[in-house]
Amino acid sequence: MESQEVKFTEKDRIVVGIDIGTTKVVCLIGKKNSKGDIEILGKGKTTSIGVLRGDVINVDKTANSIKEAVEQAEAQSGYKVKEVFVGIAGFNIHTEMNKAYLEIPDENHIISKEDIDKLVEEQYNLKLEPGQRIIDVIPQSFKVDGMSQDLAPDLIVGVRGKKIECNYKYITADVNNIRNIQQSVMNAGYKVKDLILQPICSAEAVIDKSEKDAGICLVDIGGGTTDVAIYHKGLIRYTSVIQLAGNIITKDIEEACRIVEKQANALKEQYGDCITTKQQELEIICIPSFRKQEAKEITKATLTRVISYRVKDILEQVLYDIKQSGYEKNLIAGIVLTGGGAKITNISQLTEYVTDGISTRIGMPTDYLAKGSQFTKELEHPMYATVVGLLIKGFEWYEEHEPIKQEPIATPKEEPKEIPNEKPEKRKKESEKTGFGEKIKNLLSGIITDGIE
């Protein structure tokens, strides 16, 4: 289906997000309505080819997947895509802490946003291990003029001081993966506006501000990796990547049932469960034959045991990361599971069991979308958290860097009031008198000025 381009005005801020996952590539095109909700204009989804555990391995095949997904979204929206926001993930993502300083010569200086932006921007030049590049710098706290107490990032602007000390977290990614993502997008015919860490995007879509303030752990179970992000007092405090996710669960089902990947994935999606029951021993699942082989039958309990064993393995690593972060006691809002793997039945109950009772819920990425839309209904699945979050972060990026200029409201000129019953000849003579008087006044003004000089 060929896209039919629709004319959009400059006031129609359009944002395009692309989630390049291990199993799928999803593209969303959206704009904000009058209420501030995101209205989805087009959606494209295709099988991801060329991506392994979140890293782009084959540029050409990934470019083809991207182009197919974008063209689907273009055909639905009528919008011709040029620039896109892209998520980045993979097992080579790392997070480190560091300190930075900025000294200001002015004795009575009031710290501004420009000062903080300059301080943060300088940290992107930090020397790293070969093959790594900083993709994000996140201030955690500030001190001014050696004060003993830390200041939160939202309090630093407006403080009087000369020396600023910043504790910040920087996130690095593999240079080759960054280049491969950018090259894939470019080969597909589009420009990368910004690369954004996928768990940050997912968190934007399924976690609200009050939960980030209270303390919450996001667990995004994708196809190739499971991303963990912990928030406290409104800021991201810890991130990690677990190299186990949905694909390994599918692989376990393949081996246990001796079936092909497509069948194993279908079993996981249709009958996947994390908790076994006596009833499951009586439930028989028939697996269709493959070519000339006979059809197979397994109990649902057998399938559940295979799935629950691997999910428990993943969740135990999540618990390890939570303890490593130092925020185990600060997760007042609990855990939010999202990503395609979060759709497995009873996974939240198993998570609470493994984590010794930390409250858990499934995160759906529809809170910020316009209600009642066909696309909103389609996106009621945790697998779309990242791509919806990319739209949210995209709108934030434009508001900060390229805001739409508001046209000034023109003040209407007052028309000269006509005096009732006044003859046109009289108005003309009065106008001529006024004009002559102005000329005399300007002439005298010039003579006086020349005399002074």
Give 159-168 pLDDT, tens digit per residue: 999 999 999 9
Amino acid at position 182, single letter:
Q
In order of 49, 248, 270, the CA distances from 221 in angstroms are 19, 11, 17
Instruction: Please determine, for residue 133, whether its predicted confidence score (pLDDT) is greater than 50.
Output: yes
Confidence of residue 422 (pLDDT cuts 50, 70, 90): low
User: What is 209-362's CATH superfamily?
Assistant: ATPase, nucleotide binding domain (3.30.420.40)
Q: What is the mean pLDDT of residues 332-355?
A: 97
Instruction: Please determine, for residue 2, whether its predicted confidence score (pLDDT) is greater than 50.
Output: no
Instruction: Please determine, for residue 109, whether its predicted confidence score (pLDDT) is greater than 60.
Output: yes
The residue whose two tokens read 């996947």 is 272
Domain layout of the chain by residue ranges: 94-173, 209-362
Distance CA 248, CA 245 (A): 6
Q: What is the mean pLDDT of residues 30-34?
A: 94
Q: What is the mean pLDDT of residues 422-435?
A: 51
**What's residue 292's pLDDT?**
66
Distance of CA 215 to the CA centre of its chain: 19
**What's residue 96's pLDDT?**
92
Instruction: Please determine, for residue 420, whether its predicted confidence score (pLDDT) is greater than 60.
Output: no
**What's residue 289's pLDDT?**
74
Instruction: Please determine, for residue 444, whether its predicted confidence score (pLDDT) is greater than 50.
Output: no
Q: Which two tokens stand for residue 385?
A: 């958290």
**What's residue 1's pLDDT?**
44
Distance CA 15, CA 73 (A): 12
Choose between 3 and 83: higher pLDDT. Answer: 83
Q: What is the mean pLDDT of residues 398-409?
A: 78
Task: Give long-range contacts, CB 8 A cutoff, 24+ apart: 112-120.
Answer: 112/157, 113/157, 115/164, 116/153, 116/156, 116/157, 116/164, 116/166, 119/164, 119/166, 120/166, 120/168
User: In this prediction, what percent of the chain has a pLDDT beyond 70?
Assistant: 86
In order of 12, 110, 290, 411, the CA distances from 408 in angstroms are 18, 31, 68, 9
The single-letter DSSP state of residue 110 is: B
Distance CA 37, CA 283 (A): 44
Strand partners, 40: 30
pLDDT in tens, 192-248: 999 999 999 999 999 999 999 999 999 999 999 999 999 999 999 999 999 999 999
Distance CA 93, CA 241 (A): 7
Instruction: Please determine, for residue 42, whether its predicted confidence score (pLDDT) is greater than 80.
Output: yes
Instruction: Please determine, for residue 433, whether its predicted confidence score (pLDDT) is greater than 90.
Output: no
212 and 234 in contact (C-beta within 8 Å)? yes
Choose between 419 and 337: higher pLDDT. Answer: 337
**What's residue 8's pLDDT?**
64
Q: Where do the H-state alpha helices sit in 134-197?
A: 175-188
**What's residue 415's pLDDT?**
60
pLDDT in tens, 48-60: 999 998 899 999 9
Round the average pLDDT of the chain to a whole number and report it: 89
Distance CA 200, CA 396 (A): 13
Distance of CA 207 to the CA centre of its chain: 12
Least confident piece of the model among 44-58, 69-83, 105-119, 419-433: 419-433
Q: Which two tokens stand for residue 392?
A: 């949210």
The single-letter DSSP state of residue 106 is: -
Instruction: Name which of 150, 149, 129, 131 is nearest 141 in CA terms.
Output: 150
The residue whose two tokens read 């991506």 is 51
Instruction: Please determine, for residue 31, whether its predicted confidence score (pLDDT) is greater than 90.
Output: yes
pLDDT in tens, 62-78: 999 999 999 999 999 99
Diameter over CA atoms, the chain = 114
Distance CA 29, CA 388 (A): 10
CATH number of 94-173: 3.30.1490.110
Amino acid at position 365, single letter:
P
Least confident piece of the model among 32-36, 271-275, 335-339: 32-36
73 and 27 in contact (C-beta within 8 Å)? yes
Q: Which two tokens stand for residue 155?
A: 């309090």
